[in-house]
């Protein structure tokens, strides 16, 4: 029996808006769900995709809010609709705006990926209905730009996804902010048993609306499976699009990276394509979806984010490039075609590794999907005739040949072949002898003999690494005063005596007094260095440790320092802050 929207008890304004959209009679899900919602009952409704579930809760929701009348003052938020994706939120908001165009109600939309400023302004102006995604909704609650204390109706669209592990934590946070007494509406195409249990705790004496077998697929969608090897899936997809002259194809992949890569490869093959997934910005997603609807691109590659929210009129083809791991997602994918009474086709490219996933899907649908083997693309068939042969690999570079040579050294420390052995015998015989200069033996390595340390010593400039104690001339009195008696006959200081004998006499300086023990260093070994104008004596430049001025040797110029007894005042002039020799010591010649 045919039924009209007026017969469901809807207001004239709503019926007029529906007729302006070209709808004359309600769908089965609308006819079953609208009456209990108008009565204020909780409803859990399930139906195939593309059967008008959005209008099934939007029309009675608008009527209940309009019947309550307008509130004085700012508009309180009275209805909240939550969706899992931005695209679905946009679709629901558009439907509510279209159906409620003749009613004095306001609605707004908030979702992530865009700036919060315009959304804050819209919420400040007030709205009766709010369509939102859970994450951005909680952001506004945290910023105190939104109050959920007056919500009367809660709608979870695609409720199976909203109550799974991906959104259940956010949903629980939202439920804690809502009033305890409210009307709850759950709509989805699939309701797995575990989701039904969760929904039972959320709903109060609900009305279960089931217009088809649970988890049923769309009846107007022709489904088929093409077996293929994994490496040739893209090749088969290109052939299907070209030979079938497909002008609008929605392709589903399992990962975001796979969607980007497939769209790029199709574009290189001359098939216009773009990708839509969660990693793309909202303007990019909207632009790709608009170009696909307008026919600018032929292929839209998407992840499961597009399986719940893309509503394209008369979409003819859907391709499962990768089978979903969750069987219910297959129902939502193929539900993008065959909508609103139009026929569609769903093709799945199945590899041998995907057979377990296909078995789970057929178990859910309770039927077998037709398998159609494409000629030349059967698993293990190789490259078909006319297809591009694989590009041969480049030949190995000479570098790899050099790497395969035997190692130069064989054994521990022995070369496999010396330089002379690698050269021809003629080249070795004709090679001129090495020039032998004066003092240069023919074979220095063979004639080199261990030398007596006393007999020969390297020049003085090559002994820079010796300790400072062994550089200058050594006096026996020094060693005796230090407790280290070193007589010429002792072996301990034999090297010191030998070094002393090699020193040039021109560089030797006589000892001025017994306190000047090491003229070459300018101070007694171990004695602290004294600076001019020091803090110990408080005198001027040249002060000793007792604070008295030392007599200046003849011929030595006056250096730095201030006035005697100047209180340690330091000058920044020439010689200030420089180390001065001890009294009676000449400066070391560096």
Question: 6-210 with 221-371: one CATH topology?
Answer: yes
Query: pLDDT of 443-470, one tens digit each?
Result: 544 455 555 555 555 555 554 544 444 4
Report yes or no: 491 and 498 within 8 Å, Cβ to Cβ. Answer: no
- Mind listing the pLDDT tens digit for each residue in 401-440? 445 555 555 555 444 454 545 555 555 555 566 655 555 5
Q: How far apart, in Å, are the Cα atoms of 1 and each of 4, 31, 570?
A: 10, 12, 114
* Each residue's pLDDT tens digit, 26-40: 998 999 999 999 999
Give the whole-angstrom CA distance, residue 68 versus residue 206: 23
For residue 378, how far is the Cα from the chain centroid? Answer: 38
Q: What is the pLDDT of residue 441?
A: 52
Query: What is the pLDDT, as a whole number, of residue 479?
Result: 47
Confidence of residue 140 (pLDDT cuts 50, 70, 90): very high
- Position 297 pLDDT exceeds 50: yes
307's tokens: 């399986």
Q: Which pTM value belongs to this model? A: 0.58
How is residue 31 written in tokens?
């006819």
Q: Does domain 221-371 have CATH number 3.40.50.300?
A: yes
Is the predicted pLDDT of residue 348 greater than 70, yes or no?
Answer: yes
What local confidence, expressed as pLDDT, does residue 407 receive? 56
Inform me whether the pLDDT recorded for 217 exceeds 90. Answer: no
498-549 pLDDT per residue, tens? 444 333 444 444 444 444 433 444 444 444 555 544 444 444 444 444 445 5
Cβ 206 vs Cβ 177: under 8 Å: no
- Residue-wise over 91-124: b if at least 16 C-beta within 10 A, else e? bbbebbbebbebbebebbbbbebeeeeebeebbe
Q: 155 by DSSP, 3-state: which?
A: strand
**pLDDT of amino acid 346:** 93
Two structure tokens written together for 478: 């020094």
Please return the burial class of 534, using the count of CB atoms within 10 Å of its CB with bins 0-12, 13-18 and 19+. buried
Q: Could you tell me the CATH superfamily of domain 6-210? A: P-loop containing nucleotide triphosphate hydrolases (3.40.50.300)
Give the domain ranges of the chain: 6-210, 221-371, 471-500+513-526
DSSP state of 409: B
Mean pLDDT for 316-345 is 86
**Nearest-angstrom CA–CA distance, 162 and 230:** 33
CB 549 within 8 A of CB 565: no
pLDDT of 250 above 50 = yes
Contact 13, 102 (CB under 8 A): yes
Distance CA 296, CA 273 (A): 9
Distance CA 270, CA 31 (A): 47
| Closest alpha carbon to 234 in 256, 267, 211 | 267
- C-alpha 115/C-alpha 411 separation (Å) is 71
**DSSP codes, 519-554:** TTTTS-TTPPPEETT-TTT--STTB-TTSPBPPPPT
pLDDT, tens digit, for every residue of 84-111? 888 889 989 999 999 999 999 999 999 9
Summarised one tens digit per residue, pLDDT across range 160-209 is 888 876 788 899 999 999 999 999 999 988 888 878 888 888 899 999 99
469-482 mean pLDDT: 50
- The tokens describing 35, both together, are 């009456």
How high does pLDDT run on average in the chain?
75
């Amino acid at each position: 029996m045919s039924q009209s929207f007026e017969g469901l008890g809807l207001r004239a304004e709503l019926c007029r808006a529906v007729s302006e959209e070209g709808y004359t009679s309600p769908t089965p899900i609308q006819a079953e769900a609208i009456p209990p919602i108008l009565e204020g009952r909780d409803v859990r409704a399930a139906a195939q995709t593309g059967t008008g579930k959005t209008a099934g809760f939007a029309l009675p929701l608008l009527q209940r809010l309009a019947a309550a009348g307008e509130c004085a003052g700012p508009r309180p938020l009275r209805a909240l609709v939550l969706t899992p994706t931005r695209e679905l939120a946009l679709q629901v908001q558009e439907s509510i705006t279209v159906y409620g165009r003749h009613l004095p109600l306001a609605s707004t939309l908030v979702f992530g990926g865009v700036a919060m400023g315009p959304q804050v302004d819209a919420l400040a102006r007030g709205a009766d209905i709010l369509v939102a995604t859970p994450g951005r909704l909680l952001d506004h609650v945290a910023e105190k730009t939104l109050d959920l204390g007056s919500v009367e109706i809660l709608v979870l669209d695609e409720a199976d996804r909203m109550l799974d592990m991906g959104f259940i934590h956010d949903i629980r946070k939202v439920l804690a902010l809502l009033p305890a007494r409210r009307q709850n509406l759950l709509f989805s195409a699939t309701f797995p048993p575990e989701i039904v249990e969760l929904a039972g705790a959320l709903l109060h004496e609900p009305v279960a609306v089931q217009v088809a077998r649970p988890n049923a697929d769309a009846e107007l969608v022709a489904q088929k499976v093409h077996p293929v090897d994994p490496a040739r899936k893209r090749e088969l997809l290109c052939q299907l699009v070209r030979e079938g002259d497909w002008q609008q194809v929605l392709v589903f992949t399992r990962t975001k990276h796979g969607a980007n890569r497939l769209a790029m490869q199709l574009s290189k093959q001359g098939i216009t394509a773009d990708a839509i997934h969660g990693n793309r910005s909202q303007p990019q997603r909207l632009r790709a979806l608009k170009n696909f609807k307008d026919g600018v691109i032929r292929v839209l590659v998407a992840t499961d984010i597009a399986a719940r929210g893309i509503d394209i009129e008369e979409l003819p083809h859907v391709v499962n490039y990768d089978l979903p791991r969750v069987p219910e997602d297959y129902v939502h994918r193929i539900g993008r075609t065959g909508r609103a009474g139009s026929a569609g086709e769903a093709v799945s490219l199945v590899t041998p590794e995907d057979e377990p996933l296909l078995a789970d899907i057929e178990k859910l649908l309770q039927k077998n999907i037709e398998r159609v083997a494409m000629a030349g693309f059967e698993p293990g068939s190789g490259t078909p005739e006319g297809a591009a042969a694989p590009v041969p690999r480049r030949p190995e570079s000479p570098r790899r040949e050099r790497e395969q040579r035997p190692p130069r050294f064989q054994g521990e420390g022995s070369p496999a072949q010396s330089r002379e052995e690698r050269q021809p015998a003629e080249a070795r015989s004709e090679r001129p002898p090495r020039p032998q200069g004066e003092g240069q033996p023919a074979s220095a390595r063979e004639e080199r003999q261990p030398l007596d340390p006393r007999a020969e010593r390297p020049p003085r400039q090559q002994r820079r690494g010796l300790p400072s104690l062994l550089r200058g001339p050594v006096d026996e009195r020094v060693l005796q005063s230090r407790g280290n008696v070193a007589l010429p006959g002792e072996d301990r200081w034999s090297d010191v005596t030998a070094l002393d004998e090699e020193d040039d006499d021109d560089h030797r300086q006589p000892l001025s007094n017994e306190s000047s023990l090491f003229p070459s260093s300018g101070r007694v070994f171990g004695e602290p260095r004294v600076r001019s104008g020091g803090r110990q004596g408080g005198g001027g430049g040249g002060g000793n440790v007792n604070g008295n001025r030392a007599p200046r040797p003849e011929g030595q110029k006056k250096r730095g320092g201030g006035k005697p007894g100047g209180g340690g005042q330091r000058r920044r002039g020439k010689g200030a802050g420089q180390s001065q020799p001890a009294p009676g010591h000449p400066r070391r010649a560096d």
